[in-house]
Structure 1
Amino acid sequence: MREALPEAEEMTAYDMPGFRVGGTVVASYAAFSKHVGLYVLAPAIADHHDEIAAAGLRSSKTGITFPPSKPVPDDLVTRLARASGRHAGS
């Protein structure tokens, strides 16, 4: 995500590391006991809904949860982070 969001400030909120653009948290992530969560702005999830579903991943309005054994493909993480960054302040 660092490469996808070079203009972003790294931060921590709600005990989750993430990235902020212009005061808006655009991406964050967290590991839990049975799954991992990747959280981005809702429009980024909507923009990539079909791609997320095609990868066999489960999404909510603002995130994707997945087991550690089936991570989000790196290229999809990059596209989600960039889309989320573009939607900051929209």
Structure 2
Amino acid sequence: MPKSTILTVASYIADKPAPARRALNAIRAALRKAVPGAEEVISYGIPALRKDGRIVVFFAAWKEHCALYPVTGKLIAAFKDELAPYELSHKGTVRFPLDQAVPAGLIGRIAKYRAGELAQAKVTKRKKAAKKPARVKTKR
């Protein structure tokens, strides 16, 4: 399989048609503002923001829409009314049509929510690890 020539978020965006570039640039700006200090990366061939070693959100452009991933069940419930006008996929995707204005405020709030989910998961994981009793080696 040939290796992708897309190595940066800027090159990914530059490779898209004008309507997608406009939408992607708006999404990118909203995400960067919402999650300061996050690193832009290409993962699975699409742009993503990574913070503290974990992907906060992926975004991509397709023929008729831009997409944001992953949108969890809790996130969908938290933004139920705001997400109502957009198509949601059962695989954790929200799609924003290219022929409509990008909802930058909503995208920023989603990114902040996702960053919060990841931070909470990290805290929960630490708490669980702290509660586990230390393993004691026994001779057999």
TM exceeds 0.5?
yes
Equivalent residue, structure 1, for 2:62: 32
* Greater strand proportion: 1
Computing the radius of gyration from Cα coordinates, the structure with the larger value is: 2
CA spacing shift, 1:12–1:25, aligned 2, 3 Å: same
Equivalent residue, structure 1, for 2:88: 59
Task: List aligned pairs for 1:3-82, cutoff 5 A.
Answer: 3-42=33-72, 43-53=74-84, 56-60=85-89, 62-82=92-112
CA–CA separation in structure 1 for the residues paired with 2:39 and 2:71 = 16
Equivalent residue, structure 1, for 2:21: none
Q: CA deviation at 1:84?
A: 0.5
Q: Percent identity?
A: 33
Aligned partners of 1:40 and 1:80 also within 8 Å: no
CA spacing shift, 1:41–1:21, aligned 2, 3 Å: farther
CA–CA separation in structure 2 for the residues paired with 1:14 and 1:38 = 14
Residue ranges of structure 2 left out of the alignment (5+ in a row)? 1-30, 122-140
Count the aligned residue pairs: 88
CA–CA separation in structure 2 for the residues paired with 1:21 and 1:83 = 13
TM (norm. structure 1) is 0.82
Aligned partners of 1:39 and 1:63 also within 8 Å: yes
2:113 to 76, 80, 83: 83
CA–CA separation in structure 2 for the residues paired with 1:36 and 1:44 = 18
